[in-house]
Amino acid sequence: MTSPSHAGRLAGKRAMVTAAGAGIGRATALAFAAEGATVLATDIDTASLASLVAEQPSITTRTLDVTDPAAIAAVVVEAGMVDILFNCAGYVHAGTILDTDEASWRRSFTINVDSMFHTCRAVLPGMLERGGGSIVNMSSVASSIKGVPNRFAYSTTKAAVIGLTRSIAADYVARGVRCNAICPGTVKTPSLADRVRALGGDEEAVWRGFTERQPMGRLGDPREIAALAVYLASDESSFTTGTVHVVDGGWSN
C-alpha cells in the first residue's frame, strides 16, 4: 500500500481527478497515489468511489457530477489547494451529424467541454496564487487529430478540448501553470464494454472489429494512459505546456 508520504514523482502535490471511479480516471487516481500525490477522486457514481477507496485507502473521494458548476466550485473550495487537475470525465455519443439531435449535441458539450470550463475556472485562481499547477485534459484521437466514423458530436467536443487546453496554456505560460491534453486511441474500459453491449448482436465480432483497426493488434490499457497523465502532472514535464499527446498504439499514424 502506498502512503501519501511515499516519495514518488508527485510527492507533496494535491491532485483532483474527475470520473475517477472507473476506467482511465480510476487508473490515473491510483497511479497518482502510487507516485505520492494526495488524491481527491471525484465521480458521479458513489459506489465506484467506495470501491476505489477499498483498493487505495489513502485516496479521498467526493461524489461530483461534472455538469454541476456549483458542485464543482464547492468541491474545489473544500479541497483548498489543487496542484494537479485531471479532467477525465467524458461522454461518447455515437452517430453521424444526422444521427445527432439537439439534446445529444448539448449533452456532449455539457459533459465534455463545459465541465472543463468550470473545473479550470475553479482551480486556476489558487494555482496562480501559488505560482504553479498542472492541468491535464482528456481529449481523444477522435477530435481534430483524426476523423472517426460515427463520432460526430464526440469528436467535435474533443477538438474543443484541445482548443481550451492550448488557450489556457498560452494565457498562463509565464505564471507557472501548465495545461496539456491527452488523446488516447481505443482503450479497454468498462464504458467501452457497455457501448459494445449496447450495440447488440455479435459482441465478439465488435471486439474483433475494434482490435483489427489497431496497428498493434490490441486495445490500450487504462494504465498506459495513466502513465502519461503522471508524467504531465509531474515536474518531469516542467517544460511542456499547450501540447497534445497522442497515445493510441499507432492508430492515427
Query: Pattern 197-236, binding to ligand NAD, x per CB under 6 A?
Result: -------------------------x--------------
**Contact (CB, 8 A) for 244 and 146:** no
Concerning whether 154 is annotated as a catalytic residue, the answer is yes
Residues 155-194 touching ligand NAD, rule: CB under 6 A, are 184, 186-187, 189-192
Stretch that binds ligand NAD, among 7-15, 17-25, 164-172, 200-208 (CB under 6 A): 17-25
Neighbours of 74 (CB within 10 A): 14
Enumerate residues 6+ apart whose C-beta is below 8 A from 195. 92, 94
Our CB check for ligand NAD shows the closer of 100 and 189 to be 189
Rounded Cα gap, residues 164 and 174, in angstroms: 17
Name the catalytic one among 91, 154, 172, 231: 154
**Contact (CB, 8 A) for 138 and 90:** yes
Q: What are the residue ranges of helices labelled H in 4-84?
A: 23-34, 46-55, 69-79
> Binding of ligand NAD at residue 90 (CB under 6 A)?
yes
Characterise 240 by phi-psi region: left (phi > 0), alpha (psi -120 to 50), beta (else).
Answer: beta
- Give how many residues touch ligand NAD by CB under 6 A: 30
Q: How far is CA 19 from CA 23, 24, 91, 252, in A?
A: 8, 8, 11, 25
Among 72, 88, 124, 169, binds ligand NAD (CB under 6 A): 88
- The least distance separating ligand NAD from the CB of residue 231, rounded to whole angstroms, comes to 17
Residues 21-80 touching ligand NAD, rule: CB under 6 A, are 21-25, 43-45, 48, 64-67
Stretch that binds ligand NAD, among 2-10, 72-80, 83-91, 172-180 (CB under 6 A): 83-91
Query: Which single residue is written with the C-alpha cell 455539457?
Result: 110
Residues 102-161 touching ligand NAD, rule: CB under 6 A, are 111, 138, 140
Return phi, psi of residue 151, to 5°.
Answer: -130, 40
Residue 43 pairs in a beta bridge with 63
Binding residues (CB under 6 A) for ligand NAD: these are 18-19, 21-25, 43-45, 48, 64-67, 88-90, 92, 111, 138, 140, 184, 186-187, 189-192, 222
Catalytic residues: 154
